[in-house]
């Protein structure tokens, strides 16, 4: 019989992303992590903490050092308060415990110093993680073991797909593409809906037409072996309506240039926040 490893995981902070990830983790805890207990500790003492459950204990402050040893501490507070709360957990890590952080802009070096030298994995999830359809970047320091890497990868897989990167510079680049990406997509969708409404559709119908078209097209692309260019060509008849629209959209490659500038600006800002 396979040995069941019971994990004790502390989630420090209970904001939007932390609570969204917790929901996804709890949906697979019985099958993937049987017996695991999450301890949700909110240093901001929000009044919105949920009721206790079989898998979660909600706490206002960390338990006494001699009463609890965590296998994993997940930092999900705002970057500006990490230095205030993380040191409290160094003494509460088990012998093989480690730290994972979704706090943007906090480097591995800084997290490691604040956690007493524990192994650290930085995680960059994005907004669709809330529905289990996210893309998360993972970057570990040299002290992280294969078991620790496997654990955080399994946890993040419950929220979507994962991608390991070799260093924090690549994590900053991933942040520019995927971490901030939902913002770009939503801005494109917003303008697309507004343009559809200007064609005479109601706001509700314009939203349905645009989001349905985008969702169906992306699903088709994901399921296809063809390149994106080949798929685009397949729906573009010579001198047809799509060709006319594409010429107006990106005939001068302004859209491509704008996207390159967008990603570069986000990457530069990610570097500044280290």
Spatial distance between the Cα atoms of 203 and 193, rounded to a whole number of angstroms: 7
Q: What's residue 4's pLDDT?
A: 46
Out of 3.30.930.10, 3.40.1640.10, 3.40.50.720, 3.20.20.120, the CATH code matching 8-175 is 3.40.50.720
Secondary structure of the chain as H, E, C letters: CCCCCCCEEEEECCCHHHHHHHHHHHHHHHHHCCCCEEEEECCCCCCCCCCCCCCEEEECCCCCHHHCCEEEEEECCCHHHHHHHHHHHHHHEEEEEEEEECCCCCCHHHHHHHCCCCEEEEEECCHHHHHCCEEEEEEECCCCCHHHHHHHHHHHHCCEEEEECCCHHHHHHHHHHHHCHHHHHHHHHHHHHHHHHHCCCCHHHHHHHHHHHHHHHHHHHHCCCCCHHHHHHHCCCCCCHHHHHHHHHHCCCHHHHHHHHHHHHHHHHHHHCC
Name, in order, each residue with C-beta under 8 angstroms of 266's C-beta and a sequence gap of 6 or more. Answer: 175, 176, 180
User: In terms of Cα–Cα distance, which of 55, 60, 53 is closest to 12?
Assistant: 60
Q: What's residue 51's pLDDT?
A: 44
Q: What's residue 13's pLDDT?
A: 87
User: In terms of Cα–Cα distance, which of 113, 175, 105 is closest to 141?
Assistant: 113
Q: Within a 10 A sphere around the Cβ of 77, how many other Cβ atoms?
A: 24
Q: What's residue 53's pLDDT?
A: 63
Token look-up 């396979």 returns 2
Q: What's residue 44's pLDDT?
A: 57
Q: Can you give the pLDDT of all 274 residues of the chain as single tens digits?
A: 344 457 899 999 888 899 999 999 988 888 888 889 999 987 555 444 444 567 888 887 777 776 778 999 999 998 888 999 899 888 899 989 999 999 988 999 999 999 999 999 999 999 999 999 999 999 999 999 999 999 999 999 999 999 999 999 999 999 999 999 999 999 999 999 999 999 999 999 999 999 999 999 999 999 999 999 999 999 999 999 999 999 999 999 999 999 999 999 999 999 988 7
Q: What's residue 43's pLDDT?
A: 55
CATH code for the part of the protein at 181-272: 1.10.3730.10
Q: Where are the domains of the chain?
A: 8-175, 181-272
Q: What's residue 249's pLDDT?
A: 96
Structure tokens at 225: 């072996």
Q: What's residue 31's pLDDT?
A: 87
Token look-up 């107006």 returns 248
């Amino acid at each position: 019989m396979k040995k069941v490893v019971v994990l004790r995981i502390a989630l420090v902070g209970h904001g939007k992303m932390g609570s969204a990830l917790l929901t996804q983790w709890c949906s697979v805890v019985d099958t993937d992590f049987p017996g695991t207990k999450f301890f949700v500790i909110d240093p901001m003492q929000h009044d919105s903490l949920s009721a206790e459950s079989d898998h979660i204990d909600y706490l206002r402050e960390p338990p006494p050092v001699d009463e609890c040893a965590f296998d994993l501490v997940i930092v999900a507070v705002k970057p500006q308060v990490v230095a205030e709360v993380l040191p409290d957990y160094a003494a509460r890590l088990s012998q093989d415990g480690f730290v994972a952080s979704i706090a943007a802009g906090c480097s591995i070096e800084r997290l490691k110093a604040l956690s007493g030298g524990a192994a650290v994995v930085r995680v960059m999830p994005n907004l669709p993680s809330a529905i289990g359809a996210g893309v998360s970047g993972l970057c570990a320091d040299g002290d992280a073991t294969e078991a620790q890497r496997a654990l955080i990868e399994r946890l993040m897989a419950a929220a979507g797909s994962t991608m390991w990167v070799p260093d924090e510079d690549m994590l900053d680049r991933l942040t520019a593409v995927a971490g901030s990406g939902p913002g770009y997509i939503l801005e494109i969708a917003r303008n697309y809906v507004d343009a559809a409404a200007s064609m005479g559709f109601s706001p509700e119908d314009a939203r349905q037409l645009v989001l349905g078209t985008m969702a169906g097209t992306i699903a088709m692309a994901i399921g296809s072996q063809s390149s994106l260019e080949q798929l685009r060509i397949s729906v573009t008849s010579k001198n047809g309506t799509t060709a006319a629209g594409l010429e107006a959209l990106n005939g001068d490659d302004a859209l491509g240039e704008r996207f390159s500038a967008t990603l570069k600006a986000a990457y530069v800002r990610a570097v500044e926040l280290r």
